[in-house]
Structure 1
Amino acid sequence: MPSRPRRALAALLPALACAVALLAAPLASAHQGDPRYRSLVGELPPALDGVTVEILNYDDRMELVNRGGRDVVIEGYNREPYARVDADGTVAVNRNSTAYYLNDDRYGQEEVPAAVRENPSAAPDWQVRDRTGRFEWHDHRMHWMARGVAPQVRDQSVRTKVFDWSVPLTVGGRATAVTGTLWWVGEQGGGFPVAAIVALVAVALAAAVAVVVVRRRRGGGDRRPAGEAW
């Protein structure tokens, strides 16, 4: 039969598990968009008729869908061809583009091979990804490249323009661009109560330890069979 301390700990385990799960939620979201910012696409130029561009997860990724019947090429940070969304839906990326590597990480911390870094004008090495006519990517031109608050934000409670951005494209061989603006919007709804959850975990652990200590002290004079010891 379970001892009283064990029963007490068992009763606390669901609360501890819930607190840990809630604490883990904001840590997981740290690898996604930053909800304190909003990156918004401006009005698309006529050259992009049939092409839609959307920002996903606040400021995390761009999505381009090509239904315009012309090939679209997204240019990288050195104006090299980075990705291609063809009129027939073929989606390909250029492995000789620095953006191919840098865009794997939100903060551009991936290593770029020396051969690519030192020869930004190399002929494209296209790798087909799919044939959906849809491409998503991290683009460092449209979000804040640090985990902190942008220096343009003087008052974190006020919606603030951080910067205007532009991503160059060619559509049917014609140069154009997607433009937009990055905004600071601050914490929405007070943010996630991480401190409260940490406090809850600490209190639950302290209570569990206290129960064990008290039960052991009270049971010090008991003469129970050795099989019940734990």
Structure 2
Amino acid sequence: MTAVSLRRATTIAVLALVSLATVPVAALAHGGNPNFRSVFHGLSTPLPGVQVQVIGYDSLYELRSSAKQPVTIYGYDGEPYSRILPDGTVQQNTNSPAVYLNNDEFGTAPVPAHAHKGAPVVWKTVDKTATITWHDHRMHYIGKGTPPKVTDTHKKTKIFDYTIPLSEGSTKSNITGTLFWVGPAGGGFPVGAGIAFAVILLGSAVLVVTVRRRRAATAGEGPESGDDGDGTAPTAVDPSEPAGTGGRKEAW
């Protein structure tokens, strides 16, 4: 039974470590890549009433507006992509390729034939929150794996600077930012902490098993219990056993 208990404890510790190791996968799927940081620097020309921030490492931009004029974000071909009206109405240009490309992490989503550079602007209301949250391919690394500029994965590395054009009324401006590689130290899974947790868990289980074995070997359950506390029959007394052992042989 002791061996079984130890095996169970080991299994629990390993499973705990594995479950912790899966955390960054979920984070990557739902909140950007923790190995990167897309840093918002500001607007090239201040726009009163416009607030901008990055969400999820390198995943999303959020723009809020309380401006007295329409605030428009422009797509990859310079076309109007999305806008916020003074009353908080949020609209998208259904003929902007960005509407469709932004639905895919790598910008490979199919774009309908009617959405192209130079197509007439067709606005569609999507909500009235005075907020636009969108995935912009100008703010993150579209390639897979580690960027070529990264020569040391544990060192912070600048990947590129970027701008995203927008306007408030007739005033033109740009969201300005920089994408950095920060590596595992910047937000990846803390492997050392996970291993330490597993070791502590396993060590605690081994300690419990050891204490139980010693109690069973030295104390027993007494004549009323009918066993030695570990599911085996009482240990026989051998008169030939040397003095000092109490004539008791351990049944291991």
Match of 1:120 in 2: 117
Match of 1:81 in 2: 80
8 Å Cα contact 1:159/1:184 also seen in 2: yes
Matching residue's letter, 2:174 = A
Match of 2:185 in 1: 188
Structure of higher RCO (CA pairs closer than 8 Å, 6+ residues apart): 1
SS at match of 1:183: strand
Alignment TM-score, normalising by the size of structure 1: 0.72
Q: How does 1:1-230 map to 2 (within 5 A)?
A: 18=16, 21-31=19-29, 32-116=31-115, 119-188=116-185, 191-192=188-189
Tell which deviates more after alignment, 99-108 or 180-189. 180-189
Tell which deviates more after alignment, 50-59 or 38-47. 38-47
Pairs aligned (count): 195
Between the aligned partners of 2:187 and 2:177, the Cα distance in structure 1 is 27
Tell which deviates more after alignment, 30-39 or 74-83. 30-39
SS at match of 2:76: coil
The CA deviation string for residues 194-218 of structure 1, in whole angstroms up to 9 with x for no partner, is 7978xx8xxxxxxxxxxxxxxxxxx
SS at match of 1:27: helix
In the TM superposition, residue 132 of structure 1 has moved relative to its aligned partner by 1.2
SS at match of 1:101: helix
SS at match of 2:72: strand
Between the aligned partners of 1:61 and 1:190, the Cα distance in structure 2 is 17
Query: Against the structure 1 CA distance between its residues 46 and 24, is the aligned structure 2 distance closer, same or farther, given a 3 Å change threshold?
Result: same
Match of 2:233 in 1: none
Higher helix proportion, which one?
Answer: 1
Matching residue's letter, 1:178 = I
Matching residue's letter, 1:76 = G
Query: Against the structure 1 CA distance between its residues 151 and 95, is the aligned structure 2 distance closer, same or farther, given a 3 Å change threshold?
Result: same
In the TM superposition, residue 46 of structure 1 has moved relative to its aligned partner by 4.0
4+ long deviations beyond 6 Å:
7-17, 194-197
Match of 1:221 in 2: none
Matching residue's letter, 2:128 = R
In the TM superposition, residue 130 of structure 1 has moved relative to its aligned partner by 1.2
Query: Against the structure 1 CA distance between its residues 100 and 194, is the aligned structure 2 distance closer, same or farther, given a 3 Å change threshold?
Result: farther
Between the aligned partners of 2:7 and 2:158, the Cα distance in structure 1 is 51
The alignment's C-alpha RMSD in Å is: 3.0
Between the aligned partners of 1:97 and 1:161, the Cα distance in structure 2 is 30
User: Structure 2: 5+ residue runs without aligned partners?
Assistant: 199-252
8 Å Cα contact 1:34/1:60 also seen in 2: yes
Alignment TM-score, normalising by the size of structure 2: 0.66
Between the aligned partners of 1:176 and 1:193, the Cα distance in structure 2 is 40
8 Å Cα contact 2:61/2:136 also seen in 1: yes
In the TM superposition, residue 136 of structure 1 has moved relative to its aligned partner by 0.4
8 Å Cα contact 2:102/2:136 also seen in 1: yes
SS at match of 1:123: coil
